[in-house]
A = this chain, B = another copy of it.
Amino acid sequence: MTAAPRRSHAERTDLSDSRMRDAAIRLIVERGTDRTTLKDVGEHAGYSRGLAGYRFGSKAGLFEFIVRSVGERWLADLKRVTSTRTGFGAIGAAIDAHCQFCLDGADDLRAFYILWFESIGVQSEVKSVIAGIHERRRDDTARWLLEAGMNDANDRHALAAHFNTAVLGIAYQWLAMPDDLDAVKRLHHTLKLTMQLSVNVATADVSSVAATPPRNCDE
C-alpha cells in the first residue's frame, strides 16, 4: 500500500493469506461463522469478493487454515511457557498460561475455540486437525504426570484426559460468558486445586480421602 508495488508471488500470497486470516478472525468473533461470508472476508482484507473462495477452496477450507495457523502458534506459546518446568509445575504453568490467554481476550484464540466447538457437527478436515492438537495436549499432560510421580500408566492417561476435557469445558465457559472473567479465573483455580489433589493422592498412593471409591458407571 505504501510504496512497494513490486512483490514476488510468495510475498503476495503471504500478505493476502495473512490479511484474510485477520479479517476472518475479526468477522467470526463479531458475527459468528454463519454470518461470515467469503465475500466479506475477501473485501475486508482489501481484495475482491472472490479471493477467499479461490484461495481456500471453500468456507471449510478457510476455517481449516485458521485453526491450523492459530493452533500451531498457540501450541508454540504453550510450549514456551512450560518448557522450563516439569511435573505438576508444568501443569500449573499451563493452566496459568491458558487463564492468562483467556483474560487477554485475544480475537484469534476466541475464533480458534469457536471453530473448535463448531467443528463438532461436521465431518470436516477441521475436525482431524483439532483431534491432533487435542492429542498433543494430552500427551504433554501425561508426560508431566509421569514426571510428577504417577507411575500407573492407566491412572496417568485417565487423569490427563480428564484434565484436557476440563480445560475445554472452561474454554466453553469463557466463550459463553466473555465478560465474566472472574468465573474464568475461578474455574482455572479450581481445576488446579483438584488436579493437585489428584496428583498428590496418586503419588502418595495411600490416603484416607480416597478410602471410599465410588461405584463405576459401567454397569
Q: A residues touching B (Cβ–Cβ < 8 Å)?
A: 28, 32-34, 92, 95-96, 99-100, 103, 113-114, 117-118, 120-123, 127, 130-131, 134, 158-159, 161-162, 164-170, 172-173, 175-177, 183, 185-194, 196-198, 200-201, 204, 207, 209-210, 212-218
Contacts and interface: CB of A to CB of B under 8 A. Distances in A.
Contact of A120 (B176, B183, B197, B207): B176
B175 A217 contact: no
Contacts of A172: 117, 120, 165, 168-169, 172
Contacts of A217: 95-96, 99-100, 185, 188-189, 192
19 contacts: A114-B120, A117-B172, A120-B172, A130-B176, A161-B190, A166-B166, A168-B169, A169-B172, A185-B216, A185-B217, A189-B216, A193-B210, A194-B194, A194-B198, A196-B212, A197-B197, A197-B209, A197-B210, A207-B209
B161 A183 contact: yes
A195 to B, nearest CB: 8
- Interface of A, helix, strand, loop or mixed by DSSP: helix
Number of this chain's copies in the assembly equals: 2
Contacts of A215: 92, 96
A123 B32 contact: yes
- 9 closest A-B pairs by beta carbon, nearest first, are A165-B169, A169-B169, A99-B217, A32-B121, A162-B190, A200-B209, A117-B117, A96-B217, A114-B121
A184 to B, nearest CB: 9
A106 to B, nearest CB: 16
